[in-house]
Structure 1
Amino acid sequence: MDRNFFAASFGMGSRTCIGKNISLLEMTKLIPQLVRNFDFELEEPDKEWKTVNVWFVKQTNFNCRIKLRPSS
């Protein structure tokens, strides 16, 4: 992932977030499980996404449908 994303999200140096390593560990476990178990489909694939960055980075106009994949 992009280095700048992590710097903005967790801070740098002596003021870095103390939960950074736990959060990164959770992301590396959660995201593969979501992709493995669910199908994601954008409601409007041609619509442009917008990003709002005030305190937290947040996407708007990002609506999707999530369906549980059949168990194999």
Structure 2
Amino acid sequence: MASASVKVAVRVRPFNSREMGKESKCIIQMSGNTTTIINPKQPKESKSFNFDYSYWSHTTVRAAPAS
């Protein structure tokens, strides 16, 4: 049996019109292939994940994770 491998990609999409109308804030940050989700209620609580590929398509500036 041949071995198989799976590559995983993540993309941060731009806000849609509803999100822009609500003046939503982007809670995702990317640095290389690491994607961090910031808890807006407790910013020091964040979750980070590593992916094979990370694509930033959001309209805001891409930010490095908070330390």
Normalized against structure 1, the TM-score is what? 0.26
Query: Which protein has greater RCO, CA pairs closer than 8 Å, 6+ apart?
Result: 2
Larger Rg: 1
Higher normalized strand content (fraction of residues): 2
Q: From the two aligned structures, give the one with the greater helix fraction.
A: 1
> TM-score w.r.t. structure 2 length?
0.28
